[in-house]
Structure 1
Amino acid sequence: MKAAACLNAGVLLLCFLLSSWAATLNGYGGSHDVLGSRQLGGVSNFSTFLLDRSTGTLYLGAQDAILAINTSNLGQKPLKIKWDVPEDKRKSCVAKGKTEADCKNYIRLLQFLGDGRIYACGTYAFDPQCAFLNMSSFSLETAEEGGVRMETGKGKCPFEPSQHYTAVMAGGVLYTAATSNFLGTLFDISRATGIEQERIRTERSINWLSDPEFVSSAFIQEDEANNPTGEDDKIYFFFTEVAKEYDLYTKVKVPRVARVCKSDVGGMKTLQRRWTTFLKAQLVCEDRASGQRFNVLTDVFTSRHRLDDPSSTHFYGIFTSQWDREETSAVCVYSLADISKVMDGPFKELKKTCENWINPEPVPTPRPGQCLNSALKSEGFDSSLKLPDKVLTFMRDHPLMENSVVSAPLLVRRGITYTKLAVTLTSISDDDKRTAVVLHLGTDRGELHRVAVVGQNATLLEEIPLFPSHDPVNNILLYKDVALVGSPSSLVRQPAVGCALYPTCEVCARARGLGCAWNPKEQACDGVGNELGDEELGDPLSQCKSGEGRCSPTVKEVSVMKGLRVLLPCVQVSPRACSWEHPPHRHTRQRLSDLEVLASEETEGKYVCLCQEGGREQPACRRAEYHLTLAGASMGGTVALAGGPGRHFLAWYVLLFVVGMLAGAAAILCLLLRHRRASGKGAGHGASLSEKHHDLLPSSATPQSPSSASLLSEAVPLTKRNGTLNGHGGGGHNGGGHNHHHGGGINGPHIYSNNSSSSGEVKLSESSAKLTQHQQGLEGRERPGPEGEEGEGLSEGALGDGRGPVGPGGGAGQTAGVPRSTAGTVKLQL
């Protein structure tokens, strides 16, 4: 019994150590800048953020609840309102074929009414309902008969928790883009509140809306003091829909921007209770160098570049492509002036004969879709009800514009899916003529990326893992130099601007475009870049004690066995693409920025990685250079090399092994002590105890170290992303530069710098060339080849029979203590 007690105590100690270390490692618990489900009272499924900038109170819409959080003190207990669905209504929802999880009340809308109240709407078990929240008492208004005072939310809030939806408040009136029926087959852009006679919506026509996925909306209010033409206020909606103008064998999605006017009240006969000013245009986000278009819009952030000038509004959008097999994200920006120019241009003629497009109809007067202004009012058209019927008929049949709003991507990232975007503007000159843009990008794997854009140059500054990999970023709010980042289950507060964000000389040099420069006396990054010119500072990296030039890496000799695959790393510090120069053969495949090569006589030679970092007009930067040669006899097997990704992943195994050995030793010690106390009772008893020892730890079953091939082959699968390895189970991340840990653990941010000798850069050592001990155990074992994007004509057959990549300096075999991924590669530590 004592031995069992000791063993239990050892197991409990092991569990405690692991849980404590994991909590510290992940940085989720104990920090006042992080709120998880425990700190938020068990509430989850946060989908809506609303910030009161006058008080700093953040209102969160969640499942069956609304929370109020003091953003200046996240340690303060949040206020909570419970708003759930009655049991009978929930059962009725389930009886209609919906799931238990969906038949709850998900708060999807929170908007200020301007009178001290918040308008809140929830799905309410597929029967949307809205209520009024009193901000001073933080309570929902009650009806006379008791219970929450509610009104229908149809057309204001989606029926289903996961449906795409957007809404904006304009002058106390709610404008929404949402589904309007239980089945989710009808879509409306509507004025959802206000005077009943003025509640209008889009026409039920596929020419107006064709299976749209609504993304965002914005209210652009004219400046009363500077509006000489008397232009009406406008509301813009952004969405992706199936294009009807493309007659192809498959559905083609296109991103759109639509515009309606605030004073529009519909037509007198034609378009009654319908928009008379609804116009839409296609958004084009095209990389001119490659000709690739990104046709799926996922998020839009509205930013006014000059606070006192509504015409300076710009819209930053995240795009993906429906045609790409791998994850790809791009960011494009559109100005309000460019959108207005397209809206004032020619209309697209959608009517078509059997063979040829017919001539477009003449545009009537006054121009269809035009918002009211002083000129129209002087002609007697002071209301949309007075517009001629021919104008309304033309408007009904021609909602789409002929021209598109075109933009080139600020950045393109492969291997990453961005979900949310926020933008800060930084002046880098005293006269405000030069402005830098900092993009705060949330990913579908719980990370926050920051990218600085100055002119044509985009620089990736840092990558910060905030949430577990299964928790996507779904909200980013910027407030007082702080970024409030949310996921469905957590909230994190992060610094948003300032040169102090960049703790190393290299990454501070990368932020030079933001006016940052490294202060060698203080060993800190500050804003002296605003005061000194480029001539005075020279090359910002010259102050950093780097062993190599910025774009002049040393040539690394790579000697490998014939028939093995080599993974040549290239650290990508800019969102722009990287390419490789190599001997003319087809046995290569580019995996993100790295290059995979099949070692043979044809593949010997020089390999150079070139990355676009200084803008389209600047020459490419040489980020890595290798010289590949063959060494020794031909051997099989799969070995890959990278410059450190997976170190934290391996640390898990090392820690588990050490703690496990300690716990096992404690248990054995307890058994030995018991054995000594019982040794005087007879040899027979001692022999029995020896048999027990033999059963507990037979000589042929010693604990396996992390270098064991069998242990590693059954480890948590690794996935390669952006030149790094990540564990599926939320393992550690390692960036391409200096790590600045967040919360004290491995989930710290990845700081990227131009210094090619940073920690993310690959450094070859003599020990990495001796990789022969474990090769025989790898031979004959079939493993799938690595997954990656298709390279330069490389087919699976060209890679050999299950042979995998080897890294620079590596030979055949496997180094002890190296985890192997399920893709058939082994990442070697350097």
Structure 2
Amino acid sequence: MARTGAARGRRLLLDALLLCALLPQPDTAWKQHAPRLRVTYKDLLKSNSSRLLLTSGDGLGFQALLLDEDRAWLMVGAKNHIFLLHLDHPGREPEKIFWPASREQVEHCRLAGKDVETECANFIRLLQPYNSSHVFACGTGSYQPVCAFIQLGARGKGAGAPLMRLVTHSLQSGRGRCPYSPRQPFTALLVDGEMYSGTSSDFMGSSAAFFRTWVRGAEQSYIRTEQNQDHWLHEPAFVGAFAIPDTYNPHDDKVYIFFRETALEAGQWDRRHIHARVARVCKNDVGGKRSLINRWSTFLKARLVCSIPGPQGTQTHFDQLEDVFLLRTRDPQNPLIFGLFTVSSGVFSGSAVCVYSMAAIRAAFSGPFAHKEGFDYRWVEYKGRVPYPRPGMCPSETYDPLLRSTKDFPDEVISFVRSHQLMWEPVQPQGRQPVLVRVNVPYRLRRLLVHRLETESRHYDVLFLGTDEGKVLKVGLASTVSHSTEVINLEEISVSKTPSPILDMKLSPKRQELLVSSTHGLLQLALYRCELYGKTCTDCCLARDPYCTWDGKTCAPHLLTEKRRARCQDVLKPDVLSQCQDTAEGTAVATEKLVFGVEKNSTFLECLARSPQTTIRWLAWHGEGSGLSEDWRPLRRAGAGAADPPAGQGGCRHL
């Protein structure tokens, strides 16, 4: 009898055994906007994964960042100052250059109606490496742009980071290189001693152009887009510029420019419609001989399309190009272009990221031209004869050994280029749709940075997105077997105490850090916060963060350079029941919590999910033996036959 009673008691106890399991939601739920972690600014400071480097009191922040990973320093442009921070020595005081505008320039700016504190100063907006010992810097100069060289000199034997000083005799005009205003968008790229820049060219900011100047040459040695020609550029806002080789011949190298402008081809009734553009020029372009003197003779542009399909074939276009990122690949001629776009209207607002291949961009520039035709001058495809050599082609022996300079182009080619800058075919993104869309959210995306992680089986692209309210979103993009892209929302990090727009971001893969500047400060941020995901293998794997892995004891950073056995590295397959299997005990680590109760009594069941991307299931044991999976059954409320408790909630349940 005693043995029978003991067996019955053991049976009752097993009947009351409950298991709380965390399971990933269906795939559609992964595409929701909810991140795996939301980190407040206070929590960020507690996590020891960030460090405040500089603060800004003027509310304009730090708009120019230059990172040298090899020498572990960061140069920062601010109001009247340039700072040099030593990343390997956080306790060392930053080196500083004081570079204000003259009193006369400040007074002239004030008399022109500008604000003395927020506009009439020298705001450093351009920092470009010139060589190993010099950096080329430009500032607004109180609405009189000015540029100069910063010299980096060795401190002494074994002293570490270099000193820096302003080379005063190198002061030169910054017109055509740097904007007059501290707030105007612009882009600049220094290549082989030549500065390519898209910026305003006058005090009022009403005229903008794309320039090339020689930073050590005479001021008159420049080339630019044609003036007062709206079909060249119409109210442009420049976003980025990159030098990308087209062939193995350096004479074919081109500079690609990304911007947005008011589109003329949108029609006379929609003159204010904005289009995103990609343009290109040949690096060896020196202008025409009898026409287009000191003007680009290879300048062409095409539309960048980033849209989502709608009902009945309609498209919702994201045309406001905000930022662009060039992801270098193993093939230097074929990097990937990531574009960040926004749209704003009375009905709809949101942001999107589209990815473009260089093959698609080159195809647009090799396609038909657009021009105006007919009694109403509508923009149509040009079907007439295209002169030889093809307009936009670089003078190179690759195509014609007799053409050694753009001044050798026939007059017919120069005349055609002067009136046909726009290509007819737009550039479509990969998959013909965005890889990321954010709509109906309380923020807008403003800055974009991409980090590619290579693994044995595939690669992952991690997007860092800066918002207009001081947050950085970390989003993973994983390519599936069907060549589609799965979006994994990882983190939403508040990087400033008060909401403020993100101005710039720089990635340091070597240090596994992100440098983020906002209108209120500069922050050094680790790429991962693995310990915040939880203390179990399940939490770590369900996070699907490619920077983190379960090492057997903790959720730890997964450094690709390390050779160690890790459990959950494939973010596409978060199968925690197999990845987190404890081979020693034969039970799954996914068993988060075991609860023992008494039959016909009440027990409070609580199991809060750390991630909004998971669901909660309570399972009750209904068998005895070795623990076969079919003996675990979903828990139902007594007398009601109801389903499992709602995700993330506990409650009193009758056993």
TM-score (ref. length: structure 1): 0.58
Matched, 1:33 2:51: yes
Which residue in 2 is equivalent to 1:112?
129
Deviations 1:742-776 (A, max 9, x none): xxxxxxxxxxxxxx999xx653769xxxxxxxxxx
Change (3 A) 1:476 1:532: closer
- Contact kept, 8 Å, 1:213 with 1:240, in 2: the verdict is yes
- C-alpha displacement at 1:110, in angstroms? 1.0
- Contact kept, 8 Å, 2:544 with 2:571, in 1: the verdict is no
- C-alpha displacement at 1:495, in angstroms? 1.9
Which of 443, 455, 458 does residue 428 from structure 1 map onto?
Answer: 455
In 1: Cα distance, 2:589 partner to 2:181 partner: 56
Which of 204, 209, 219 does residue 183 from structure 1 map onto?
Answer: 204
Higher relative contact order (CA 8 A, sep 6+): 2
Which of 403, 407, 411 does residue 436 from structure 2 map onto?
Answer: 411
* One-letter amino acid of the structure 2 residue matched with residue 443 of structure 1: T
Which residue in 1 is equivalent to 2:632?
none
* One-letter amino acid of the structure 1 residue matched with residue 166 of structure 2: L
Which residue in 1 is equivalent to 2:253?
233
Change (3 A) 1:239 1:536: closer
User: Which SS does the other structure have where 1:374 is aligned?
Assistant: coil
- C-alpha displacement at 1:74, in angstroms? 2.9
Which of 359, 368, 376 does residue 399 from structure 2 map onto?
Answer: 376
User: Which SS does the other structure have where 1:88 is aligned?
Assistant: helix
User: Which SS does the other structure have where 1:310 is aligned?
Assistant: coil
* One-letter amino acid of the structure 1 residue matched with residue 124 of structure 2: I
In 2: Cα distance, 1:216 partner to 1:402 partner: 22
- C-alpha displacement at 1:27, in angstroms? 3.5
Which of 121, 141, 159 does residue 124 from structure 1 map onto?
Answer: 141
* One-letter amino acid of the structure 2 residue matched with residue 95 of structure 1: L
Which of 740, 749, 763 does residue 649 from structure 2 map onto?
Answer: 763
- Contact kept, 8 Å, 2:367 with 2:424, in 1: the verdict is yes
Deviations 1:647-688 (A, max 9, x none): xxxxxxxxxxxxxxxxxxxxxxxxxxxxxxxxxxxxxxxxxx
- C-alpha displacement at 1:536, in angstroms? 8.6
Which residue in 2 is equivalent to 1:388?
410
Which residue in 2 is equivalent to 1:344?
366
Deviations 1:460-495 (A, max 9, x none): 011111113432211111112211111123121122
In 2: Cα distance, 1:403 partner to 1:502 partner: 46
Higher strand share: 2
Matched, 1:56 2:72: yes
Deviations 1:275-297 (A, max 9, x none): 11111111111123673211101
- C-alpha displacement at 1:515, in angstroms? 8.3
Which of 257, 281, 284 does residue 305 from structure 2 map onto?
Answer: 284
Change (3 A) 1:572 1:259: farther
- Which moved further from structure 2: 464-473 or 499-508? 499-508
Which residue in 2 is equivalent to 1:487?
518
- C-alpha displacement at 1:56, in angstroms? 1.4
In 1: Cα distance, 2:134 partner to 2:110 partner: 33
Change (3 A) 1:279 1:538: farther
- Which moved further from structure 2: 506-515 or 47-56? 506-515
- C-alpha displacement at 1:189, in angstroms? 0.4
Deviations 1:607-652 (A, max 9, x none): xxxxxxxxxxxxxxxxxxxxxxxxxxxxxxxxxxxxxxxxxxxxxx
Which of 102, 111, 115 does residue 119 from structure 2 map onto?
Answer: 102
Looking at CA atoms only, which structure, 1 or 2, has the larger radius of gyration? 1
Which residue in 1 is equivalent to 2:506?
477
Q: Which runs of 5+ in 2 are unaligned?
A: 1-39, 154-162, 480-484, 559-565, 581-587, 594-610, 615-643
Change (3 A) 1:404 1:43: closer
Q: Which runs of 5+ in 1 are unaligned?
A: 1-21, 144-148, 548-570, 575-755, 767-830
- Contact kept, 8 Å, 2:445 with 2:466, in 1: the verdict is yes
Deviations 1:802-828 (A, max 9, x none): xxxxxxxxxxxxxxxxxxxxxxxxxxx
Which residue in 1 is equivalent to 2:599?
none
- Contact kept, 8 Å, 2:242 with 2:257, in 1: the verdict is yes
CA RMSD in angstroms, aligned pairs only: 3.5
Which of 350, 356, 368 does residue 334 from structure 1 map onto?
Answer: 356
- C-alpha displacement at 1:508, in angstroms? 3.3
In 2: Cα distance, 1:232 partner to 1:152 partner: 30
In 1: Cα distance, 2:213 partner to 2:325 partner: 23
In 1: Cα distance, 2:398 partner to 2:557 partner: 54
In 2: Cα distance, 1:94 partner to 1:385 partner: 45
User: Which SS does the other structure have where 2:199 is aligned?
Assistant: strand
Which of 439, 457, 460 does residue 486 from structure 2 map onto?
Answer: 457
Which residue in 1 is equivalent to 2:275?
254
Which residue in 2 is equivalent to 1:142?
168
* One-letter amino acid of the structure 1 residue matched with residue 324 of structure 2: V
Which residue in 1 is equivalent to 2:546?
514
Change (3 A) 1:538 1:135: same
Deviations 1:559-598 (A, max 9, x none): xxxxxxxxxxxx9759xxxxxxxxxxxxxxxxxxxxxxxx
In 2: Cα distance, 1:535 partner to 1:483 partner: 26
Matched, 1:318 2:340: yes
